[in-house]
Amino acid sequence: MVVGAGFLVSDCHLLTCAHVVTQALNMAQNTLEAPAGKVNLDFPLIAPGQILSAKVVFWRPVQLKPLTSPEQGEDIAGLKLDGNSPASSNPVRLVGVTDTWKHPFRIFGFPKQREMGVWASGILRDKLANGWVQMEDIKVPGYSVEPGFSGAPVWDEELAGVVGIAVAAERKREEAKASFLIPTSILSSAWLELGQWMADQRSLANTLDTLPSFRQVQLKARKDYFAVLCAKYEAVYNQLSYTLNEGDVD
Domain range summary for the chain, segments of one domain joined by +: 2-90+236-243
Distance, in Å, from the CA atom of 131 to the CA atom of 166, rounded to the nearest integer, reads: 13
Cα gap 222→48, rounded to integer Å: 28
Residues in CB range of 250: below 8 A, 6 or more apart: none
How many Cβ atoms are within 10 Å of 142's Cβ, its own excluded? 11
Per-residue pLDDT, averaged over 22-31, amounts to 93
Conformational region of residue 74, where left means phi above 0, alpha means psi within -120 to 50, and beta covers everything else: beta
Question: Within 37-191, where are the H helices?
Answer: 184-190
Beta bridge partners of 240: 6
Contact in structure between 240 and 41 (CB atoms under 8 Å) = yes
Q: What is the pLDDT of residues 157-201, one digit of tens each?
A: 999 999 999 999 987 766 678 999 999 999 999 999 998 888 877
- The torsion region of residue 175 among left (phi > 0), alpha (psi -120 to 50) and beta comes to alpha
Question: Cβ of 19: how many Cβ atoms within 10 Å?
Answer: 25
| The predicted structure's pLDDT at residue 87 | 86
How far is residue 32 CA from its own chain's centroid?
Answer: 22
Per DSSP, 70 falls in state G
Q: What global pTM score does this model have?
A: 0.80
Predicted pLDDT of residue 250: 40
Q: Under the phi-then-psi rule, with left for phi > 0, alpha for psi from -120 to 50, and beta for the rest, what region is 102?
A: left
Indicate the residue type of 239: Q
Using one digit for the tens of pLDDT, what is the confidence trace for 201-241?
776 655 545 556 655 555 556 655 555 555 555 544 455 55
CA distances (Å), 62 to each of 19, 22, 76, 217, in order? 7, 10, 8, 47
Confidence at residue 247, expressed as pLDDT on a 0 to 100 scale = 42
Q: How far apart are the first and last CA of the chain?
A: 11
Pairwise pLDDT comparison (167 vs 66), residue with the higher score: 167
Task: Tell me the CA distances in angstroms from 82 to 3, 38, 40, 79, 193, one per residue in order.
Answer: 20, 9, 10, 9, 18
Task: Give pLDDT tens digits for 37-59.
Answer: 999 999 988 888 899 999 999 99
Question: 225 or 145: whose pLDDT is higher?
Answer: 145
2-90+236-243 fold: Thrombin, subunit H (2.40.10)
Of 121 and 209, the structure prediction assigns the larger pLDDT to 121
pLDDT exceeds 60 at position 118: yes
